[in-house]
């Protein structure tokens, strides 16, 4: 640790040429190397290695920015090993914006090393081909649904390369029918205003019940809900994995769709998407034509539970007798600092028992496309969560992020546990419409 503590602070003499990356570099100098982040970092807990901790990665990023180390395969692998869960930010006394630093470092190193791509072809296929197109996404999911047919899966799985077989074990289940949300859902009671919701590149396709519940709950509480067909993706995954230019293009399309919707608030049921959308102002800060629009848009973004608690919602009158464990989504807790609202929504449901869940602030290993880029680590973190759930044995595991829900569902299904993974708003919708049970 003496080596890190004694690090000199020259200006960058290395390969950085992006103003945003330079700003992220300057902010890295705020790190005081106190180590409070170590017990909160999932990869450090798994490995015990200093380079796999937030301060270790800051040291590596700074060394590269100052031209003291090369953009090597080893450096790329260590940065890609990070989940960017941002738990370190929650405990950092110096206010280091680690997530922003990591996104820009990945972007810069990705341009310095075009061959760098943790996850290889599956990652590129997902980020560059599927997510930017809703129609391609739907066709791919139709093929995945066909592959999920047990006899066909049993026939084809042994033919997959070993690396793909490891990743295949965490594939999500595809709904029997790909439902589309209406573009406009009218308010059910006295109209309070209009809100927009994000269909999402993943949620509408793989968790349509979450999107429908979000729209239904908002309508039940007097909100007219508009769900624009485009854009297909908000750019969150691209930003997290260092594809800044693509993220910026998708951010602009998202802002334009919101502006055209006539909504007063953008309500989001995906923690990862919401965290990036709330940071569009920073993402587009150097674009004069978009900066003001992005800052305003970001100020109007709310997580669905955050919005319901802020604006008020009707408590359900009917009981939903169930034991529910709430697991914080990293980008809701650590990036957006939203912790209480989802629990308040759950506590409003008569008959529901909210049971405590250990290590709820620790990442489950989903982390966007981390199941593709680092399947072994992703699985190890999931196994840790599933073992806790085996002991707690709730009826439902509630979480505010679609990637986490799919990840938890795969782990619970693989272990034969009866716990269902759901978004908190799904339980609220169930309590609104279902008789006491």
Q: Tell me, what's the pLDDT at 114?
A: 58
Q: Tell me, what's the pLDDT at 203?
A: 75
Return the closest-CA partner of residue 43 out of 86, 90, 91. 86
Give the mean pLDDT of 392-408.
Answer: 94
303, β-bridge pairs: 268
Digit-coded pLDDT (tens) for 260-307 = 999 999 999 999 999 999 999 999 999 999 999 999 999 999 999 999
CB-based contacts of 435, cutoff 8 Å, min separation 6:
318
Q: Are 298 and 417 in contact (CB under 8 A)?
A: no
Residues in the chain: 437
**Which stretch of 24-28, 302-306, 334-338, 362-366 has the lowest confidence by average pLDDT?**
24-28
The CA distances from residue 40 to 29, 52, 334, 373, 389, in Å, are 21, 12, 11, 21, 20
Digit-coded pLDDT (tens) for 180-237 = 788 899 999 889 999 999 887 777 777 888 999 999 999 999 999 999 888 878 888 8
Beta strands in 221-360 (DSSP E): 223-226, 265-268, 301-303, 322-326, 352-355
Judged against a pLDDT cut of 50, whether residue 330 lies above it is answered with yes
Cα–Cα distance measured from residue 111 to residue 105, given in angstroms and rounded to the nearest whole number: 10
Place of tokens 């300057």: 26
> Across the chain, what does the average pLDDT equal?
84
Judged against a pLDDT cut of 50, whether residue 6 lies above it is answered with no
Cα–Cα distance measured from residue 345 to residue 404, given in angstroms and rounded to the nearest whole number: 19
Delineate the domains of the chain, giving CATH numbers in brackets.
14-112 (1.10.1060.10), 120-168 (no CATH), 184-309 (3.40.50), 316-433 (3.40.50)
The CA distances from residue 183 to 14, 212, 261, in Å, are 49, 12, 10
Digit-coded pLDDT (tens) for 119-153 = 566 667 777 766 776 677 777 777 776 666 666 66
Percent of the chain with pLDDT over 90: 51
The CA distances from residue 256 to 95, 245, 293, in Å, are 32, 17, 9
Digit-coded pLDDT (tens) for 379-395 = 999 999 999 999 999 99
Give the mean pLDDT of 80-103.
Answer: 91
- Residue 25: how many other CB atoms lie within 10 Å: 23
Six token digits for residue 53: 């901790």
Q: Tell me, what's the pLDDT at 289?
A: 95
Six token digits for residue 154: 């049993």
Place of tokens 């509480």: 221
Q: What are phi and psi of 310, to 5 degrees?
A: -65, -45
């Amino acid at each position: 640790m003496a080596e890190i503590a004694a690090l000199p602070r020259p200006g960058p003499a290395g390969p950085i040429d992006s103003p945003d990356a330079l700003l992220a570099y300057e902010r890295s100098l705020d790190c005081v190397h106190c180590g409070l982040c170590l017990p909160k970092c999932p990869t450090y807990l798994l490995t015990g290695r200093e380079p796999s901790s937030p301060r270790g990665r800051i040291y590596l990023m700074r060394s590269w920015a100052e031209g003291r180390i090369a953009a090597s395969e080893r450096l790329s692998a260590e940065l890609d090993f990070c989940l960017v869960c941002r738990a370190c930010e929650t405990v950092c006394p110096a206010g280091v914006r680690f997530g922003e630093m990591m996104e820009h470092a990945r972007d810069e190193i990705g341009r310095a090393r075009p061959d760098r791509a943790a996850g290889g072809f599956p990652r590129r296929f997902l980020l560059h081909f599927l997510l930017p197109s809703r129609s391609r996404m739907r066709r791919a999911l139709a093929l995945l649904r066909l592959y999920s047919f047990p006899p066909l899966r049993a026939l084809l799985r042994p033919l997959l390369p070993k690396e793909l077989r490891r990743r295949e074990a965490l594939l999500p289940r595809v709904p029997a029918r790909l439902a589309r949300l209406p573009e406009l859902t009218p308010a059910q009671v006295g109209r309070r205003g209009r809100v927009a919701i994000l269909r999402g590149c993943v949620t509408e396709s793989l968790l349509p019940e979450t999107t429908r519940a979000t729209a239904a709950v908002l309508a039940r509480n007097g909100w007219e809900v508009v769900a624009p067909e485009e854009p297909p993706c908000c750019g969150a995954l691209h930003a997290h994995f260092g594809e800044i230019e693509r993220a910026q293009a998708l951010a602009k399309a998202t802002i334009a769709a919101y502006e055209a919707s006539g909504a007063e608030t953008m309500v989001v049921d995906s923690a990862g998407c919401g965290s990036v959308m709330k940071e569009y102002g920073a993402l587009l800060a150097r674009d004069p034509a978009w900066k003001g629009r992005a800052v305003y848009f970001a100020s109007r973004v709310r997580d669905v539970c955050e919005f319901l608690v802020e604006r008020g919602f009707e408590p359900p009158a009917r009981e939903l007798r169930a034991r529910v464990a709430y697991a914080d989504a990293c980008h809701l807790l650590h990036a957006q600092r939203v912790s209480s609202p989802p629990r308040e929504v759950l506590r409003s449901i008569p008959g529901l028992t909210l049971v405590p869940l250990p290590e709820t602030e620790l990442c489950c290993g989903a982390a966007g496309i981390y199941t593709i880029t680092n399947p072994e680590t992703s699985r190890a973190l999931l196994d840790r969560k599933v073992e806790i759930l085996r002991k707690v044995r709730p009826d439902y595991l509630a979480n505010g992020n679609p990637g986490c829900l799919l990840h938890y569902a795969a782990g619970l299904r693989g272990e034969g546990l009866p716990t269902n993974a759901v978004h908190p708003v799904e339980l609220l919708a169930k309590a609104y419409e279902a008789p006491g049970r």
